[in-house]
Amino acid sequence: MKADLSVIRSKRAFIIDMDGVIYHGNRLLRGAAEFVGWLAAEGKAFLFLTNSSERSPAELSQKLARLGIEVGADHFYTSALATATFLAAQVPGGSAYVIGEPGLISALYDAGFTMNNVNPDYVVVGEGRGYSLEALDRAVRLVRNGARLIGTNPDLNGPSEDSIVPACGALVSPIELAAECKAYFVGKPNPLMMRNAMKKLGAKREETAIVGDRMDTDIVAGVESEIETVLVLSGVTRAGDIGRFAYRPRHVLEGVFEIPG
């Protein structure tokens, strides 16, 4: 697991998680700006691939700009976009009852979906502040009446500025239990999202590295996609957690500040 920085630096393309890698909430992490500057200066292809479904690529670009990093919206791909692409392929022109933020709703609208709280094709759950007992009750009823349950990502929690907060996997769980069904999750480590990322990068797997802070999404996604895996310990995963998993990252770093050289 010892990091070989020369191997990491030699890669032509990078898939990069955001929460716990680039920032915590509204706090930029050590070396994040220098890392992104290095990617641009070295002519690397890079894509920020986030399981968060709350914000659109334009909003994520604006957030980084507020933190002092200028990156165009085309460098972002979210679980909301992956979910919308998947659902549009499954049921073109379908409808959904959504528990989530504008980034998810906008992605579904752009994919040709309509919002429906009576008899939708899908109940779609992402992160957000609109999660309530009323929304939970309605979601359970709709799923029991035949709507299919979709989660934008399986993350149980995620890092904030101060601590750990519930994420989509935790929010979907009560619906799964009450409706007696299992959700289908589209975000990392689902191969669908990874394939979409690779297509957007235009890179081959042997040219690519994934940089993330989660063993159960980022690293396993890289392992299963056969690309170089870089775990940073600036987010959810601690060094002592790694041994609990059946797979290993190829490289372990304290943070992205170690990569530029």
Please list the active-site residues.
17, 19
Q: Vertex 43, ends 15 and 194: CA angle to 5°? A: 20
